[in-house]
Amino acid sequence: MAYLDNIRTFVRVYELGSMSAAGRDMRISAAVASARIGQLEAHLGVRLFQRTTRSLSPTEQGRSFYEGAREVLDKVDEAEARVSEITETPRGTIHVAAPLGVGRRLIAPQLPGFAQAYPKIDLRLRLSDRRIDLAAEAIDLRFFLGHPADSDLTIRPIASCARVLCAAPDYVARRGAPRDGAALVSDNHACLNLRFPGATEFRWTLQTPEGPRPYPVSGRLECDDGDVLTAWALDGAGIAMKPVFEVAEHLAAGRLVALCHETPPLPVQMACLYTHRRLQDPKIRIFMDHVCGRVASAVAQAEAQAGSQAGSQAAPG
- Looking at residue 88, what is its pLDDT? 63
Mean local confidence (pLDDT), 239-249: 95
Among candidate residues 234, 208, 207, the one with its CA nearest the CA of residue 221: 234
Q: Give the pLDDT band of residue 294 (cuts 50, 70, 90).
A: very high
Question: What's the mean pLDDT in 278-295?
Answer: 87
77 and 165, same domain (yes or no): no
Look at residue 278 in the predicted model and tell me its pLDDT: 66
Q: How high is the mean pLDDT of the chain?
A: 86
* Structural domain span for residue 243: 161-269+306-311
Q: Is residue 316 included in any domain, yes or no?
A: no
Per-residue pLDDT of 139-188, as tens digits, reads: 889 999 887 766 678 889 999 999 999 999 999 999 999 999 999 999 99
Task: Tell me, yes or no, whether 290 lies in a domain.
Answer: no
Give yes or no for residue 313 having a pLDDT over 80.
Answer: no
Question: Does 316 have pLDDT greater than 50?
Answer: no
Tell me how far apart the alpha carbons of residues 111 and 104 are, in angstroms, rounded to a whole number: 11
pLDDT at 252: 92
Domain with residue 10: its CATH number is 1.10.10.10
Q: pLDDT category, 201, cuts 50, 70, 90?
A: low
- Residue 283 φ/ψ, nearest 5 degrees: -70, -30
Instruction: Tell me if 300 is assigned to some domain.
Output: no
Question: What pLDDT score was predicted for residue 131?
Answer: 76
239: left (phi over 0), alpha (psi -120 to 50) or beta: beta
Would you say residue 308 has pLDDT above 50?
Answer: no
Helix, strand, or coil (residue 232) = helix
